[in-house]
Amino acid sequence: MAVLPREGGGTTPECLGDSPVLSDTGGVEKRRPRHGELLHHSDRGCQYTSDGYQKTLRTLGIEVSMSPTGNCYDNAVAERFFWSLKHEWTYWRAYATMDEARPSVFRYIETFYNSRRRHQTLGYKSPDQFEADHPPALAAHKMRSPAGVPKY
């Protein structure tokens, strides 16, 4: 089971009325995981549990994992990413529109968070450096504790 190593971006949901859409920013396409090698972990929000979203994940061969109801610590990696995004980037900028914010956030993810920002969980390497040093299957294994539980 591959876990994309703390890399920002990836696949994000956007609710468009009742129809959630997967907006791929390169995480899945870049790595081309085999069927069943990628795990999508989320909370139980309606955008993630909808039939359309679940069907898209199944079509892409992505295994689904969801937090138990009321478990606020289960999504710590994603929460940390958004904390970093806010405190290192967006709090210091003013955006007039979402169209103005999107390329700025993309710039943060691609030019800093993935390529230069060091992560304690990855041995103080950036996600890009960690992936370069370890093939994806090995990288996923190295991110797990001896008991096979992901280290977040």
Q: Does 152 reside within a domain?
A: no
Q: Which domain holds residue 119?
A: 11-142
Instruction: Report the distance separating Cα 49 and Cα 57, nearest Å.
Output: 11
Q: Does 65 reside within a domain?
A: yes
- pLDDT at site 70: 72
Number of domains in the chain: 1
pLDDT in tens, the chain (152 residues): 334 444 544 444 455 444 444 554 456 666 666 776 777 877 778 888 889 989 988 888 888 888 777 776 666 777 788 899 999 999 889 999 999 999 999 999 999 999 999 988 889 999 899 888 887 655 555 555 444 444 44
Q: Is-above-0.75 flag for pTM? A: no
- pLDDT at site 89: 92
Q: Does 108 reside within a domain?
A: yes
Q: Does 22 reside within a domain?
A: yes
Q: Which residues contact 20 (CB under 8 A, 6 or more apart)?
A: 13, 14, 47, 48, 50, 52, 53
Instruction: Report the distance separating Cα 47 and Cα 49, nearest Å.
Output: 6
Q: Does 69 reside within a domain?
A: yes
Q: Does 103 reside within a domain?
A: yes
- pLDDT at site 10: 47
Write the CATH number for 77.
3.30.420
- pLDDT at site 117: 92
Q: Does 6 reside within a domain?
A: no
Q: Does 98 reside within a domain?
A: yes
